[in-house]
Amino acid sequence: MSFFADKRVMVTGGAGFLGRHLVDKLKRRGCRNIFVPRSAHYDLVQMQDVERAYQDADPDIVIHLAAVCGGIQDNSKRPGTHFYSNLMMGVQAMEVGRRRGIEKFVALGTVCAYPKFAPIPFNEDDLWDGYPEETNAAYGLAKKMYLVQSQAYRQQYGFNSIFLLPANLYGPGDDFNPETSHVIPALIKKCFDAKEQGEEFIEVWGTGKATREFLYVEDAAEGILLATERYNRSDPVNLGCDWETSIRDLVDLIVKLTGFQGEIRWDSSKPDGQPRRRVSAQRARAGFGFEATTKLDDGLKKTIEHYRKMRQG
């Protein structure tokens, strides 16, 4: 029988980008009782709404995906919002789960929590060896507090919570709003807009020298569910694919796959963000058998095709 068959599972953020993929996988695993607290009815920054969500869901397991997130531009514009909203949502959700004695709480962190100049690949033991990259430090530090809370609650209360650190996510259903999107959806939209409007160039922030590791959203959802089923420690665990690509190479690939034939202009006055990002996936492999399977070009093709259909209505 499936691990989830007789579990009541609350997925905060279950209607979002990652959440929709995770909920779909939960259903395919035989989970019959899934509760998704929608933001229109539950403001999880407010404690009374967190308590009401728990009362309505009566969960055995909580997978906390809800977050305020975005790319460099959005993090630079709204660092206070990113800090406060993410801190309060996660800390309160875990506290209410602890009070109610739920079986397990799964907290999702972020690769932005790592120090700006952490050794490559990022190892979980290096999390506290420096300050995060400045443009997303508020977001990264708010999320890292879930780890502090998880370990403190296990020590004091024996509360079963885990903390996962996914690499940069991408895939079908991503946020393509230029004000809040991350690099991949932002670039895809720029290429489609430029083709449609007959523009001769697109402008890209930074120098292109920074590197990133991109994890396909369905792989991330699978990793989270494997950890939920099999991992029961508060030591942080990365979810990644153990490779990185430069932003310049990423742009070249997206330009090729979208068919944009114009010029790429780099605006080096804008920030690159963290110089390099690549996580070690060793602990996830050893701890719960997670292995990312989607190659970047395959994932980009699926994402671009999804976006093409979305634009066509």
Q: Tell me the one-letter amino acid at 102.
A: I
Task: Give dist(CA 16, CA 291) in Å, integer.
Answer: 23
Cα gap 121→144, rounded to integer Å: 18
Contacting residues for 222 by C-beta, under 8 A, at least 6 apart:
25, 290
Are 219 and 164 spatial neighbours (Cβ–Cβ below 8 Å)? no
Q: What are the structure tokens assigned to 45, written together?
A: 């920054």
CA 131, CA 128: separation in Å to the nearest integer? 8
**For residues 1 and 19, what is the distance between their CA atoms, to the nearest angstrom?**
24
- CA dist., res. 298 & res. 216, Å (int): 9
Is 54 a catalytic site residue? no
Out of 139, 146, 216, 307, which one is annotated catalytic? 139
**What length does the chain have?**
313
Alpha helices, H only, 3-128: 17-28, 47-57, 72-77, 79-100
What single DSSP character describes residue 270? S
d(CA 144, CA 306): 32
> Sign of dihedral through CA atoms 69, 232, 238, 144?
positive
Q: Which residues belong to the active site?
A: 139
